Chain A
Amino acid sequence: MRKNYKIDVDCANCASKMEAAANDTAGVKNAVVNFMTLKMQVEFEDGADAKEVMSRVRENCKRVESDCEIFI
């Protein structure tokens, strides 16, 4: 399952930190952050609950970049 989320982040470096944080979240198979389109594409692992995983992704991203936002 793959979903697109709109995000808000200020700098490219921060975006790549978000990407790393999202990828380290359990339930996420692969996450790609596109800084120019301000989008995050997340591929979930089979059977994962997107909503629940995304709230953890957001938590992890906020930890590395307090200024970021993911619109779930």
Chain B
Amino acid sequence: MNRKQRKNLLRIILAAALLIGLHFVEVTGAERFILYMAPYLIVGYDILIKAGRGIKNLQALDENFLMAVATAGAIALAIYSGSGDYTEAVAIMLFYQIGEWFQSYAIGRSRENISALMDIRPDYANVENLGRLEQVDPSEIETGTVIVIQPGEKVPIDGVVIDGASTLNTSALTGESLPRNVQAGDEILSGCINLNGVLRVRTTKLFDESTASKILDLVENASSRKSHSENFITKFARIYTPVVVGSAVALAVIPSLLFGNFETWLYRALIFLVISCPCALVISIPLTFFAGLGGASRAGILIKGSNFLETLSKVKTVVMDKTGTLTRGIFEVDAVHPISTNCISENPTEARQLLHYSAHVEKYSTHPIATSLRNAYHAENDGCTVENVEELAGLGIRAEVNGNVIHVGNDKLMEKIGAAWKPCDRVGTIIHVAINGEYAGHVVIADKLKPRAKKSVEELYRLGVNRIVMLTGDIKKVAAKVAGDLGIGEYYAELLPAQKVEQLEKILSEKSFAVAFVGDGINDAPVLARADIGIAMGALGADAAIEAADVVLMDDDPLKISRAIDAGDCQGKYLFRDRRESFVSGAGRSRNCKHVVRNFRRRGSYDSGGTERSSCAVGVRNFSTSRSFKITQQIRNSGRMYVALAVSE
């Protein structure tokens, strides 16, 4: 509770006590008027001042004005009819202020909740100075400085571990709950939390360019890109109050001219004014979006604007890049086929021998294929002699291992040295090995599917996506295999970046629904920008892709694609209901109290529906933050309703 809230609470209590006290005082005429004006002014003076100031500044038609007119009308009626019943006017003001107070309190709470959700900004960094640790503002640290991160602290700046080993909680960045182990030589990203060991880290970036700062920047600016519904509501609010006031005047004047009974119709017009406040409507949408964006970012999905959240819910076609999106983009040894096994079964001893030779030959190469061969053969430092390594461009490598001449390379190399090579029916890059000119077999190297790629495709179909297309620069054979494995019906292979854009445009022109493109690399940037929604993978890597994309998946988990779309979907549904509710409650359902109870129950059931985890992860979180707010909003409206009913009866 801040100072303003405390002050307003005091005013409310004081006015309520006075009102109750006055109930037992028997006075009439002018004295009664003066006595009742005390609680009225205590609780409503700021509203009256604001209304007056609004008129002076030609900004009259806001809710202060509505309240001022309604209460002044009630007082006028009390004097006019001679009943001297000022309780109505005071009660309206009182209930209005109670509603305002609850609203301000609830918004403050959800604001705190949401900022806590996104609080990954590190406050300080430890720098060693003459053997002592000093806490320094991270923005003052230059690239290349060595910082110390102690257990329980946030990693302030991106860097490379030079000393120490520890486990990092990366959930703030990736939404992944599994901690990651790091040791000397590993790169670490700011925003992670160091769990156990002490780490000494050499920074590789400035604070402002570090991951945590970039993410916060993205999220904070996200809600400034407004969605269609937000824009709609802003425009709507502008004409709303004038329309309400106009209708109230019409309600007071027209029927009473036709049927007489001016007093009753004026009462009704006042009721109408009281229950029509624009604020519920205006807040409902940004709050829902904001909570949604915050929730998504905690799940490792960064959405760059409310408008994208809205578009996500309309996605019916998903176009995906292959390498790095569906597959890991890292080559691995898929199979080892010594000549004796004839490509069917593997003979472990001979296979090991084959890997042994090929790993040694590729010892000094930096080619990705060489790396994958070395990774597959762990016991590389086994004392074998590797000599006379010769790289044959476009063919492979020749080297002498323990005196044997080994050739490792493609089929052309085998033909050149006259080895009788055999083709393989596996899909991937085939590396042939010849020992002393004799063909010994081959190693198949392939890019592996990401573990959850298949599940992601299934989820997308389940969510109502009716077309999934794969675009890739890879050869047809590989594309066909990947598409087949994942159950993707449509694919286009051997595409250059420009051709990817062309293909996407063709898809865009065929569809009336939104098309999402998912990609990772720099080569995907133009396509990401062109699609209705660009979703970037590899967020922690390719900057160009992040820049171009509208949604960024913090870890490269393809399952997050469906989560993101789902988030948009949920948001859309809730949004619609929120909007409807604010209309309904604003427009004055007579049994509003019941409405609150039912809403509460309904929402309770949504929360328990959280077992359907993915579908409403965002929705549920959204509600847990906005629930308290919404309910007070309802209470507030029911308060008004109560007053309105009391007045009308």
Which residues of A line the B interface, CB within 8 A? Answer: 10-13, 16-17, 32, 34-39, 41, 63-64, 66-67
Contact = CB atoms under 8 A, between A and B. Distances in A.
Contact of B290 (A11, A17, A36): A36
A10 B106 CA distance: 12
B59 A13 contact: no
Given A35-B286, A36-B114, A64 B224 contact: no
Contacts of B220: 34, 37, 39
A13 B278 contact: yes
Interface in B27-74: 46, 49-50, 53, 57, 59, 62-63
B465 interface: no
B540 interface: no
A60 to B, nearest CB: 10
B224 A35 contact: no
A35 B107 CA distance: 10
B578 to A, nearest CB: 13
A34 B223 contact: yes
Interface string B113-136: 011000000000000000000000
Contacts of B221: 41
A41 B224 contact: yes
Interface string B218-247: 001101100000000010010000000000
Contacts of A63: 57, 59
Contact of B283 (A11, A38, A64, A66): A11
Contacts of A39: 220
B59 A17 contact: yes
21 contacts: A10-B100, A11-B103, A11-B282, A12-B283, A12-B286, A12-B287, A13-B278, A16-B234, A16-B237, A32-B224, A36-B114, A36-B287, A37-B111, A37-B220, A37-B223, A41-B221, A63-B57, A63-B59, A64-B59, A66-B49, A67-B46
A36 B59 contact: no
A38 B111 contact: yes
Nearest to B284: A12
B628 interface: no
A37 to B, nearest CB: 6
B224 A34 contact: yes
Nearest to B226: A32
B17 to A, nearest CB: 25
Interface in B546-577: none
Range for the number of chain B residues in contact with chain A: 20 to 34
B104 interface: yes
B149 to A, nearest CB: 28
B287 A13 contact: no
SS of A interface (majority): mixed
SS of B interface (majority): helix
Nearest to B294: A36
B250 interface: no
Given A16-B282, A37-B220, A64-B57, 10 more contacts: A10-B100, A11-B282, A12-B282, A13-B62, A13-B282, A13-B283, A36-B287, A37-B223, A64-B59, A67-B46
Contacts of A34: 220, 223-224
B498 interface: no
Contact of B50 (A36, A37, A67): A67
Given A37-B115, A38-B111, A13 B223 contact: no
Interface string B252-282: 0000000000000000000000000011001
A25 to B, nearest CB: 15
Contacts, number: 53
Nearest to B52: A66
Contacts of B224: 32, 34, 41
A29 to B, nearest CB: 14
Interface in B63-88: 63
Instruction: Choose among A11, A38, A66 the residue with the greatest number of B CB atoms under 10 Å from its CB.
Output: A11
Contacts of B103: 11
Nearest to B224: A32
A28 B220 CA distance: 20
A33 to B, nearest CB: 9
Contacts of A11: 103, 279, 282-283
A20 to B, nearest CB: 8
Contacts of B278: 13
Nearest to B50: A66
Contacts of B290: 36
A67 B4 CA distance: 11
Contacts of B283: 11-13, 35
B583 to A, nearest CB: 15
B279 A13 contact: yes
A28 to B, nearest CB: 14
B611 to A, nearest CB: 29
Nearest to A67: B50
Contacts of A37: 111, 115, 220, 223
Nearest to B62: A13
B286 A36 contact: yes
Interface in B272-318: 278-279, 282-283, 286-287, 290
B637 to A, nearest CB: 15
A66 B279 CA distance: 17
Contact of A10 (B104, B237, B287): B104
A25 B103 CA distance: 30
A10 B99 CA distance: 13
